[in-house]
């Protein structure tokens, strides 16, 4: 009896860890989220019971308490359970809540981290979230609710990445502008990143809301000067040009 909280990676099914894939292939029960690639679920041990615990704004399946109950019940029945979550299980996915519920029920578990969309989705749009001379910090926020104290203390420098906020982009833009950032600050919204359906929309704080009306989750927003470099290193679609940004950078320091 054991539960593995496994990160499935950001979308492309090949972006899972070796350990994560091995566990999927050998588990007795696979409990997965909505964002997990069907190609990974197809890898499950043919004898495994597969439970779709996917939850989302439209397709509400199970409340979190019910998922916790299923995990505990399955483990107590003696099964090896893989709880497969999009990206990294401990990033905005209630993985911590599940871990606490397992501890309370005295169920042994392990966490198998995954590649989070935080870095991977911008990377597939050609955007490094930090870049020498442009941003040496990055703040990641959940756009699920804009009531939290973090939204009152947005950084005026560096990169801002927002998960789950695409439907509230107008309010997010307002908050960022209120900190004094220029309306010309570049912004990218990336829909279904790392998958064949990846769609990248670039603009500025002034026009991104207008440009992204048709975008649907999952989508991630990245705000800051780093977005401009993607004009040169958009490797996923093959648009690369080292001169786009390279010449404007300070000389490399060997330190």
Q: Which residues are catalytic?
A: 33, 55, 164
Q: Of 71-79, 82-90, 146-154, 226-234, which segment contacts ligand SAH by CB under 6 A?
A: 82-90
Task: Compute the least distance from the CB of residue 17 to ligand SAH, in Å.
Answer: 13
Should residue 222 be labelled a site residue for ligand SAH when binding is judged by CB under 6 A? no
Binding mask 98-137 for ligand SAH (x = CB under 6 A): ------------------xx---x----------------
Q: Which of 21, 82, 163, 205 binds ligand SAH (CB under 6 A)?
A: 163
Q: Is the dihedral of CA 94, 33, 195, 44 positive or negative?
A: positive
Stretch that binds ligand SAH, among 84-92, 129-137, 176-184, 239-247 (CB under 6 A): 84-92
Q: Is 205 in the site for ligand SAH (CB under 6 A)?
A: no
For 53, 95, 235, 236, 243, the CA distances from 240, given in Å and listed in that order, are: 40, 37, 6, 9, 9
Residue 227 is classified by DSSP as G
Distance CA 75, CA 80 (A): 6
24, 44 in Cβ contact below 8 A? Answer: yes
Q: For the chain, where are the alpha helices, taking DSSP H only?
A: 18-26, 38-41, 64-76, 95-104, 117-124, 169-178, 208-211, 243-246
Nearer to ligand SAH, 7 or 186 (CB): 7
Q: Residue from 88, 99, 226, 228 that binds ligand SAH (CB under 6 A)?
A: 88
156, 180 in Cβ contact below 8 A?
Answer: yes
Nearer to ligand SAH, 14 or 73 (CB): 14
Residues in a beta bridge with 220: 163, 190
Task: Choose, by CB under 6 A, the member of 31, 67, 164, 215 that binds ligand SAH.
Answer: 164
């Amino acid at each position: 009896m054991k539960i593995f909280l496994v990160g499935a990676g950001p979308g492309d099914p090949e972006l899972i860890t070796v350990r994560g894939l091995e566990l999927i292939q050998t588990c007795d029960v696979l409990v997965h989220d909505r964002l997990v690639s069907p190609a990974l679920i197809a890898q499950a041990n043919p004898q495994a019971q597969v439970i779709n615990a996917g939850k989302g704004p439209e397709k509400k399946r199970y409340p979190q308490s019910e998922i916790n109950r299923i995990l505990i019940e399955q483990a107590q029945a003696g099964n090896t359970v893989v709880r497969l979550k999009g990206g990294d299980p401990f990033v905005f996915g209630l993985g911590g809540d599940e871990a606490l519920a397992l501890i309370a029920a005295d169920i042994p578990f392990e966490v198998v981290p995954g590649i989070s969309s935080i870095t991977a989705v911008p990377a597939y749009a050609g955007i490094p979230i930090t870049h020498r001379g442009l941003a040496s910090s990055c703040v990641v926020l959940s756009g699920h609710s804009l009531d939290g104290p973090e939204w009152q203390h947005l950084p005026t420098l560096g990169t801002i990445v927002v998960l789950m906020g695409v439907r509230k982009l107008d309010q997010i833009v307002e908050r960022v502008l209120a900190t004094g950032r220029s309306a010309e600050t570049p912004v990218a919204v990336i829909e279904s990143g790392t998958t064949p359906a990846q769609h990248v929309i670039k603009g500025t704080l002034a026009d991104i809301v207008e440009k992204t009306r048709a975008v649907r989750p999952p989508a991630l927003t990245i705000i800051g000067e780093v977005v401009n470099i993607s004009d040169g290193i958009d490797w996923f679609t093959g648009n690369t040009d080292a001169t786009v940004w390279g010449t404007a950078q300070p000389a490399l320091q060997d330190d």
